[in-house]
Chains A and B, each alone.
Chain A
């Protein structure tokens, strides 16, 4: 797999997050290069999601800053990152194909590749309204969004939740493929998510 992105590095230093007046974490730092994965662990409410959302520009940075090298300079980090949160960003009344098509056009400016749905095993349900999908299938459709638009940074918040064993292995494969393509992953999870050589960043009281 030829490296899609040149030598890339994402660093955060002295990061402080305050939400609703409560300091979630302070002075946090990390550094992850292209081809590497960072596993953010910690008990619930320790701020794993907040860190990911902060990288994605969805939460205000109370202190510290991010630095990214080796990527398109004009684009901000959120414009080069995929964020897979607890919410699936799907409209029940739109069909599977319409949902994916919209995100591909909105985030990537073009129609999604035909293979995206097939890779996540939803090709047969393309014309089915998303309302009929199960939680696991909605999750797969969200993951298809990551394949439909090429972005170097993947921010995955408990990506394996609602996925069955077979889908978790498939996701691990996709993540390895993304890393070997030179991309990087920052994932928040409780346990290992099939990524052997992931660096770990503990967040929370005993950080």
Chain B
């Protein structure tokens, strides 16, 4: 294993192991997603036709909130026990370390959301293809949510406020991903726009947020070194 990969792999495995032992392997994220999705019909009413039409939107909102709110602890935990200091004192560049932590977070939080989507689709009276479409768009979209949320997580560590501040800072940045995610899902269910167009834009957004997120978060952490 090349000297650069070994530390990153160690960091990745540590974060995944921590997520499984402490957070139940993304269980909390999926539980939050389930509760948010189940709450909607109580407000909207048990009308299945209506729920079917806004199903993708509800699932996307639930997944967005679930992945953002679990990001708060991404850096805060390491900051509080002093691990972040040592991580910055290593030959491995901070950007790569952040990318590794984000990948571990996505695997333990984002991916379970995607896997849970078809089951929650049942509550929204979505048939097979609809649920699959939402799941596919979430698969492409959740990495963007993680990497955009990364910036908020890094900033909230530096500002020692965390929590809701993260959501306030980051929610506007996730709007494009939300728009094209829901658009792609609806395109697959209702049309008329072909599924491909919004979906490729969504993938582009993810790639952009991948790069911007990592460097912005690293800068935020370094700037926060007070």
Contact = CB atoms under 8 A, between A and B. Distances in A.
The short answer to whether A and B are in direct contact, CB under 8 Å, is yes
Contacts of B10: 101-102, 105-106
A88 B85 contact: no
Given A58-B88, A78-B89, A87 B82 contact: yes
A13 B194 CA distance: 65
A19 B226 CA distance: 6
A191 interface: no
A88 B92 CA distance: 21
A59 B226 CA distance: 5
Nearest to B8: A106
Interface residues of A, number: 31
Contacts of A110: 6
B39 interface: no
Nearest to A149: B90
Interface string A83-114: 10111111101100010011101110110000
A52 to B, nearest CB: 11
Interface in B45-86: 80-83, 85-86
A94 B14 contact: yes
A79 B90 contact: yes
A98 B14 CA distance: 8
A149 to B, nearest CB: 10
A165 interface: no
* Interface size of B as a range: 20 to 34
A91 B18 contact: yes
B92 to A, nearest CB: 7
B7 A105 contact: yes
B225 interface: yes
A98 B82 contact: no
Given A60-B225, A75-B91, A106-B90, A94 B11 contact: no
Given A90-B81, A103-B86, A20 B6 contact: no
Contact of A106 (B17, B92, B226): B92
Nearest to B6: A109
A185 interface: no
B172 interface: no
Given A102-B14, A105-B7, A109-B7, A88 B90 contact: no
A89 B226 CA distance: 18
Contacts of A117: none
Contacts of B86: 83, 89, 103, 106-107
A93 B18 CA distance: 7
Nearest to B11: A106
Interface of A: 19-20, 53, 56-60, 75, 78-79, 81, 83, 85-91, 93-94, 98, 101-103, 105-107, 109-110
22 contacts: A19-B226, A56-B89, A57-B225, A58-B85, A58-B88, A60-B225, A79-B90, A79-B91, A83-B86, A88-B82, A89-B86, A93-B21, A94-B17, A94-B18, A102-B10, A102-B14, A105-B6, A106-B7, A106-B11, A106-B90, A109-B6, A110-B6
A-B complex: 9 closest residue pairs judged by Cβ atoms:
A87-B82, A105-B10, A78-B89, A89-B82, A93-B21, A106-B7, A89-B83, A102-B14, A109-B3
Given A58-B89, A83-B89, 6 more contacts: A59-B225, A60-B225, A78-B88, A102-B10, A105-B7, A106-B11
